[in-house]
């Protein structure tokens, strides 16, 4: 009888310990991941600057398990007519990929696309005259492409933009 109670007690202790270990994830993602993602995907210059800084130091954000992969401007030129759109496209990819992984892409797509357009317009603000007009027109074309075509690949490819 005593041996049976001891065996039950040991079994119960092992079960309790096992559940305790299983209940505590080894490396939980910080609870503010959604807020950080939102902060880095707004339309303002401060959001853009914060994302650029974080992107340069991705290791500091490894606990968040963000998807930093990018193909930049996809099948469009990264620097059309010499305009440096590559970083803006990388931030756009970041937004698409991470919101798709979070399952909240549809609710955030319009803002991510608008952020791309604002980022591109900030690039164009460096120029003047006809060069600025050309840059602005190119930025508008890039925005229209993601606005209209960004959904078309969603059903087939939820991991890329």
The full DSSP string for 58-115 is GGGGGGGT------TTTTS-SSGGG---HHHHHHHHHHHHHHHHHT-HHHHHHHHHHH
Active site (annotated) includes residue 24: no
**Tell me, what's the pLDDT at 7?**
46
Q: What is the pLDDT of residues 87-128, one digit of tens each?
A: 999 999 999 999 999 999 999 999 999 999 999 999 999 999
Are 134 and 45 spatial neighbours (Cβ–Cβ below 8 Å)?
Answer: no
Q: Which of 42, 47, 92, 108 is catalytic?
A: 92
CA–CA dist 143, 161 (Å, integer): 13
CA–CA dist 38, 79 (Å, integer): 26
Q: Which residue has the higher pLDDT, 27 or 5?
A: 27
Are 138 and 83 spatial neighbours (Cβ–Cβ below 8 Å)?
Answer: yes
CA–CA dist 111, 97 (Å, integer): 14
Residue range 62-67: average pLDDT? 98
Q: What is the pLDDT of residues 7-17, one digit of tens each?
A: 444 444 444 44
Of all residues in the chain, what percent carry a pLDDT higher than 70? 77
Would you say residue 156 has pLDDT above 70?
no
What the chain holds in terms of domains, given with CATH numbers, is 29-149 (1.20.90.10)
CA nearest to 94, candidates 69, 73, 119: 69
Would you say residue 26 has pLDDT above 60?
no
Residue range 131-147: average pLDDT? 97
**Tell me, what's the pLDDT at 25?**
56
């Amino acid at each position: 009888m005593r041996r049976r109670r001891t065996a039950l007690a040991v079994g119960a202790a092992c079960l309790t310990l096992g559940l305790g270990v299983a209940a505590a994830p080894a490396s939980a993602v910080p609870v503010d991941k959604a807020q950080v993602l939102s902060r880095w995907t707004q339309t303002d210059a401060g959001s853009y600057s914060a994302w650029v800084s974080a992107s340069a130091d991705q290791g500091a954000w490894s606990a968040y398990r963000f998807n930093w992969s990018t193909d930049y401007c996809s099948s469009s030129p990264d620097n059309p007519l010499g305009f440096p759109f590559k970083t803006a496209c990388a931030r756009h990819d970041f937004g698409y990929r991470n919101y798709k992984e979070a399952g909240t892409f549809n609710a955030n797509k319009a803002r991510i696309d608008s952020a791309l357009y604002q980022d591109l317009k900030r690039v164009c603000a460096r120029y003047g005259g006809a060069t600025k007009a050309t840059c602005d027109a190119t930025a508008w074309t890039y925005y229209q492409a993601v606005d209209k075509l960004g959904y078309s690949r969603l059903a087939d490819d939820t991991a890329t933009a």
